[in-house]
Amino acid sequence: MLILGIDTSTDICSIGLCQSRKFLGEINIKLKRRHSERLLPLIDRLLSESGYDIQDINGVAVTKGPGSFTGLRIGLSTVQAFKQSLDIPVYSVSTLQYMAFSISHYYNKAILIPTIDALNKRVYTALFRRADNNLNRMTQDKAVQIISLIEDINDYNFNKIIFGSGANQYFQLLKEANLKNSKLITDTVGMGGFNLALMGYHFIKDGHDTDFAELVPKYLKKPQARLNWEKKYLQGDEDENIS
């Protein structure tokens, strides 16, 4: 089973390819706002270098957010086209869940806390824990102030692994908090498209298939431009913009 993984939820576009559990290839590149120009050529290159054609794909795994508004729209609309034209199953997954899955085999029984920088000292985050080879969700995805996250997780006695772009952006704040039993990881090694494709393989082979209508971005707050406009002209409380 040939599975393609596509993550466009951040500035780093990541695509990966697996044949069942076998690694075939992966491309990670910082695109900023150029996903619309580069995504399809990158997919074509990955398939070509791996000896496959687009028609050979048996399924696609894609991140649905939280993350970049523009990037998510492009990634999901691309996958919609694949699903419709190739008539293949698709697995759409929370970006945070995919991040946790990517490093979970290194940290059994630890609390995994993926973070994505949401600007203005906010992060998108959720808590997960791997036990008995299963990744268990402890909280729903949410957008919170980094200080609120620190307060929420400080009382957990389990080892805590905090990682992702939020951990990188607010490293000093997290470090100064002296969180108990915690480890900060500020790089994204291992969180590439292959792991997303591998995650998709496990779900797709078990019959999972996201409906076409459900292939839409999962936003946890309004676009930053909209927040800035409301703050300037409506004097709204930014906290009210979290859904």
Q: SS3 of 167, please? A: helix
Q: What is the pLDDT of residues 45-55, one digit of tens each?
A: 999 999 999 99
**And the tokens for 20?**
């069942």
Rounded Cα gap, residues 191 and 11, in angstroms = 14
List of residues 6+ apart from 211 with CB closer than 8 A:
none
Average pLDDT over residues 169-194: 88
Rounded Cα gap, residues 92 and 215, in angstroms = 7
* Per-residue confidence (pLDDT) for residue 181, from 0 to 100: 93
pLDDT category at 36 given cuts 50, 70, 90 is: confident
* Per-residue confidence (pLDDT) for residue 24, from 0 to 100: 98
* Per-residue confidence (pLDDT) for residue 232, from 0 to 100: 55
Q: What is the pLDDT of residues 165-178, one digit of tens each?
A: 999 999 999 999 99
Is the distance from CB of 26 to CB of 15 less than 8 angstroms?
Answer: yes
pLDDT category at 243 given cuts 50, 70, 90 is: very low
| Three-state helix/strand/coil letters over 29-83 | EECCCCHHHHHHHHHHHHHHHCCCCHHHCCEEEEECCCCCHHHHHHHHHHHHHHH
Q: SS3 of 223, please? A: coil
Rounded Cα gap, residues 168 and 131, in angstroms = 26
What is the average pLDDT value for the chain, to the nearest integer? 90
Q: In DSSP terms, which residues pair with 25 in a beta bridge?
A: 17
Rounded Cα gap, residues 104 and 172, in angstroms = 24
In terms of Cα–Cα distance, which of 36, 45, 55 is closest to 15? 45
pLDDT above 90 for 34 = no
Q: What is the pLDDT of residues 67-89, one digit of tens each?
A: 999 999 999 999 999 999 999 99
| Cα dist from 218 to 61, 64, 97, 142, 201, whole Å | 15, 6, 13, 11, 22
Rounded Cα gap, residues 98 and 166, in angstroms = 16
Q: Which residues of 104-141 are buried (b: 16+ CB within 10 A; e: fewer)?
A: beebeebbbbbbbbbeeebbbbbbbbbeeeeeeeeeeb
Is the distance from CB of 47 to CB of 16 less than 8 angstroms?
Answer: no
pLDDT above 80 for 221 = no
* Per-residue confidence (pLDDT) for residue 191, from 0 to 100: 74
66: preceding bond cis by omega (within 30 degrees):
yes
Q: What is the pLDDT of residues 123-164, one digit of tens each?
A: 999 999 998 889 999 999 999 999 999 999 998 989 999 999
Handedness of CA 91, 26, 191, 171 (dihedral sign): negative
* Per-residue confidence (pLDDT) for residue 239, from 0 to 100: 41
* Per-residue confidence (pLDDT) for residue 11, from 0 to 100: 87
Q: Which domains does the chain have, with CATH numbers?
A: 2-94+191-222 (3.30.420.40), 96-185 (3.30.420.40)
